[in-house]
Amino acid sequence: MSTEPDSAPAAPVFSNKNPFQARHTANIRLTGSASEKDTRHHEISLAGSGMKYMAGDALGLIPTNCPALVEELIAALRAKGDEPVTNRDGHVKPLREALFRDCAITFVEKKFVEAAAEKGATLLKDLLQPERSADLKAYLFGRDESHDYVDILREFPELQFTPEEFVKLLRKMPPRLYSIASSLLAHPESVHLTVATVSFKAHSRARKGVASTFMADRWDGDTTAGIFLQSQQKHFFLPPDGQTPIIMVGPGTGVAPFRAFLEERQALGHKGRNWLFFGEQRRSEDFFYEEQFTGWVNDGFLRLDTAFSRDQAQKVYVQNRLEQNAKDVWKWLEEGAEFFVCGDKSRMAADVDAALHRIIETEGGKTPDQAKEYVDALKKAKRYKRDVY
Ligand SMILES: Cc1cc2nc3c(=O)[nH]c(=O)nc-3n(C[C@H](O)[C@H](O)[C@H](O)COP(=O)(O)OP(=O)(O)OC[C@H]3O[C@@H](n4cnc5c(N)ncnc54)[C@H](O)[C@@H]3O)c2cc1C
Ligand SMILES: NC(=O)c1ccc[n+]([C@@H]2O[C@H](COP(=O)([O-])OP(=O)(O)OC[C@H]3O[C@@H](n4cnc5c(N)ncnc54)[C@H](OP(=O)(O)O)[C@@H]3O)[C@@H](O)[C@H]2O)c1
């Protein structure tokens, strides 16, 4: 029988559908002024939410669009902005507000291309032919050549969409996920993120990643934004035994959850050995959390290997550092270490995986098949955990 009084309020559960409206409390550049990147440390207050996360979890953020882009789009539609439109949820609101808050307006939906082709944009009709699918992909998403709605509406001035018609072709604003870079034990009621601000130029216009530039430039003062937690404890979690050694491979923003792991292990007084492989472009510009990490190295809490890819003629990546330390990596694995990887999925994670296989082959005296079996066994035992994006 429950001992809770009937009137006990249920703890609020925040989710993508019911996000907590949070304030941004710190926005600090981690990259130097000569860096090619703008990567930032963000702090977000959880005060009043009751939200609790664990090291390894991710934060969901629901951003708003850049107001200047919203105005460009309204002009390209030859609208005024105050026209009423019906959102996906059935609510009627002014076009400007729907474009600002509810809709994805930076990358074009195929159904918009189809609608534009139907309205007579013959070039787009051609791109929709099955044999042109690679060209369509390049046209919509190509590196430094993607076309957004403003580009297309300007390129085809004959196209006319009513505000209502246009909004119906848009996707709902998707939330973005970020690896949490802090431990709640070290920072009660706060969540830290390590975020690379996305910006590029296409067709002579500055293009901005929605959420990363929202955090960098537009989330200040009393402005709140919807957040929610996403547990990742099924696939990305610290070993329950605090004595277990861990090897963490986290170049770029991939370092975020490892800062959380280290803060958590320090707060808990866990004695397991910690080894971090961090990589970025240049030591002088891009050594995120240098003071905190070198402090931990000096305290004997952390073993740190860095790979600053552009500090010498030949690129050096985290997997090169792993292989240079192959003997010790193998020794740690044989002693029960867990192996973690976080960051770029398309290139880094695959290259680190290949390096891990090579280390097991050379140091463990195994054939490629045996090395694969060894890695499969690590995965099965949840000793090889990845969070890649
Ligand atoms: C589990 C998880 C954890 C993550 N953790 C982190 C983290 O800790 N830190 C972090 O920074 N990110 C993290 N990400 C990525 C993050 O969710 C966002 O995808 C990222 O911040 C970009 O979002 P945005 O809204 O700023 O950009 P968007 O508006 O979503 O734009 C990004 C898009 O722009 C495209 N693009 C970028 N450059 C160009 C170019 N030159 N030409 C054409 N297109 C281009 C990209 O291909 C991408 O599709 C994580 C993702 C996942 C799934
Ligand atoms: N898919 C892509 O083409 C692509 C490209 C860039 C970023 N991203 C994404 O952009 C986001 C932010 O990236 P980020 O700024 O955190 O870091 P990042 O672009 O992953 O860069 C961090 C470090 O990793 C190096 N690196 C590049 N290729 C690598 C490889 N194959 N193996 C190991 N290291 C490699 C980079 O070196 P160099 O830069 O000197 O090569 C840099 O020193 C992430 O979501 C990432 O996935 C994707």
Chain centroid to CA 118: 36
Burial environment of residue 208 by CB neighbours within 10 A (0 to 12, 13 to 18, 19 or more): buried
Residue 30 beta carbon below 6 angstroms from any ligand 1 atom = no
The domain covering 20-64+174-230 belongs, at the CATH homologous superfamily level, to Translation factors (2.40.30.10)
Ligand 2 pocket: which of 258, 323, 344 to mutate (most atoms within 8 A of CB): 344
Q: Where are the domains of the chain?
A: 20-64+174-230, 67-172, 246-388
What CATH number matches the domain at 67-172, 3.40.50.300, 1.20.990.10, 1.20.140.10, 2.40.160.10? 1.20.990.10
Residue 104 beta carbon below 6 angstroms from any ligand 1 atom = no
User: 158, 152, 186, 185: which is closest to 170 by C-alpha?
Assistant: 152
| Distance separating alpha carbons of residues 136 and 208, to the nearest angstrom | 21
Atom of ligand 1 nearest to the CA of 39: 11
**For each of the chain's 389 residues, which pLDDT tens digit applies?**
344 445 555 556 899 999 999 999 999 999 999 999 999 999 999 999 999 999 999 999 999 999 999 999 999 999 999 999 998 888 999 999 999 999 999 999 999 999 999 998 999 999 999 999 999 999 999 999 999 999 999 999 999 999 999 999 999 999 999 999 999 999 999 999 999 999 999 999 999 999 999 999 999 999 999 999 999 999 999 999 999 999 999 999 999 999 999 999 999 999 999 999 999 999 999 999 999 999 999 999 999 999 999 999 999 999 999 999 999 999 999 999 999 999 999 999 999 999 999 999 999 999 999 999 999 999 999 999 999 99
Distance 252 CA to ligand 2 centre (A): 7
Residue 39 beta carbon below 6 angstroms from any ligand 1 atom = no
Atom of ligand 1 nearest to the CA of 199: 38
| Distance separating alpha carbons of residues 59 and 231, to the nearest angstrom | 9
| Distance separating alpha carbons of residues 389 and 252, to the nearest angstrom | 12
pTM reported for the whole predicted model: 0.95
Residue 215 beta carbon below 6 angstroms from any ligand 1 atom = no
CATH topology of domain 246-388: Rossmann fold (3.40.50)
